[in-house]
Structure 1
Amino acid sequence: MDLDEPTPCFNPNSTPPAGTKRVVLVVAVALVDADGRVLLAQRPPGKTLAGLWEFPGGKVHADETPEAALVRELKEELDIDTAASCLAPFTFASHTYEDFHLLMPLYVCRVWNGTVRPLEGQKLAWVTPNRMGDYPMPPADVPLVAMLRDLL
């Protein structure tokens, strides 16, 4: 690779070449309470993958860092405040769905202000690490469960 040659720019909003899928960047967090339980949220009716349990988070906007998006999403979805400095990068998921490819950094957070409450009609559950596998999850989230069990 010649470092003097310009690198083609990647435009995430462009139409991908034939045979590829657009990459969607979302961010998620394993909120861990004082008892070592992890918060899972059930996707509400009407959303894609409704009824499945996931780690809270959401899409990263074009002008956001993953940490800023997660701070925003936690306020919007769960009415809690945290700071980027409280988010520890842990691992990521890379999964191809039918219409797109998902890239999802997963953070761990043990410090936030406020009481977790569902603001978007989702059900919530505080789950011990050894019980997370009992909750049906989207395919991208499933491999993250074993890694979290090992961490916690």
Structure 2
Amino acid sequence: MQITEVKRNSLDVVACILFKKKKILISSRPLGKNYSGFWEFPGGKVERGENYFEALKREIYEELSVYIFKKDIAIFDSYDYEYPEYKVKLRFYACRKWTGTILPRENQSLKWINPRELGNQKILSSNKNIVKKLLNHST
């Protein structure tokens, strides 16, 4: 009997940790999407033909109506996370400067919170490593 490995779909995902004063922005997953009601950092899937920055710039504009620039972001962390149905390759970027006014454009809720409050939020499981890192940096 031959054992075969089940191949899961793999997604490249980018997310942005936006810092304003001593707070960070989190976004709720809207109704109708997987894991709706959970909080996460704004971002999304890298589409075919995009590099990571292009995807991040597009996603942040689509979700928040603001523009970010390459010179204003820095890689914060990256890792792989496995959901039961697929594997996600996550890249998180830190951003302290953007152009425009942040507005929710995808029926999501937004809130600025102190990183120490992250432990009290219903955070998407794939974001928990970042939460730990942010908590360690805020103490």
| Residue 25 in structure 1 maps to residue 25 in structure 2 | no
TM-superposed deviation, 1:141: 0.4
Q: Secondary structure at the match of 2:66?
A: coil
Secondary structure, in 3 states, of the residue corresponding to 2:136?
helix
- Supply the AA of the counterpart residue of 1:57: G
Which of the numbers 63, 70, 88 marks the counterpart of 1:102? 88
Q: 2:96 aligned with 1:149, yes or no?
A: no
Aligned length: 135
Equivalent residue for 1:138, pick from 87, 102, 124: 124
Q: Does residue 59 of structure 2 align to residue 73 of structure 1?
A: yes
Task: State the match for 1:5 in structure 2.
Answer: none
Runs of 4+ that moved beyond 4 A = none
Residue 62 of structure 1, aligned match among 25, 42, 48: 48
Return the alpha-carbon distance in structure 2 between the equivalents of residues 52 and 139 of structure 1. 9
Deviation at 1:111, TM superposition (A): 0.6
Quick check: which one's helix share is greater?
A: 2
CA offsets per residue over residues 69-125 of structure 1, 9 Å max, x none? 111111111000111221100102311111110111000000101111100000001
Letter in 2 for 1:83: F
Q: Between Structure 1 and Structure 2, which shows a larger proportion of strand residues? A: 2
Are 1:87 and 2:68 counterparts? no
**TM-score computed with the length of structure 1 as normaliser:** 0.84
In the alignment, the residues of structure 1 paired with residue 72 and residue 30 of structure 2 have an alpha-carbon distance, to the nearest angstrom, of: 27
Q: CA RMSD in A?
A: 1.3
Q: State the percentage of identical aligned residues.
A: 33
Kept in 2: contact 1:41–1:53 (CA 8 A):
yes
CA distance in 2, matches of 1:119, 1:54: 15
- Counterpart amino acid of 2:121? Y
One-letter amino acid of the structure 2 residue matched with residue 79 of structure 1: S
| Partners of 1:43 and 1:93 in 2: CA distance | 21
User: How much does 1:149 deviate?
Assistant: 2.4
> Highest Rg: 1 or 2?
1
**2:113 & 2:79 partners in 1: Cα distance?**
20
- Unpaired stretches in structure 1, ≥5 consecutive residues: 1-16
Contact 1:89–1:105 (Cα < 8 Å) also in 2: yes
Letter of the aligned partner of 1:101 in structure 2?
K
